[in-house]
Structure 1
Amino acid sequence: MSENSSSDPPNSTQGPITDDKAAQEKLESKGANPPTQEPEEEIDIDLEAPETEKAALAIQNQFRRFQKKKK
Structure 2
Amino acid sequence: MLSQQDPDRDVRRSRGPLLAAVGVVVVLGLVGGTALALGQADEGGTAPDVPAVPADAPADLQDPLAALHDAVEEATR
Q: TM-score normalised to the size of structure 1?
A: 0.30
Max Rg structure: 2
RCO comparison, higher one (Cα < 8 Å, 6+): 2
The structure with the greater share of residues assigned to helix is 2
**Please, what TM-score do these two structures have when normalized by structure 2?**
0.29
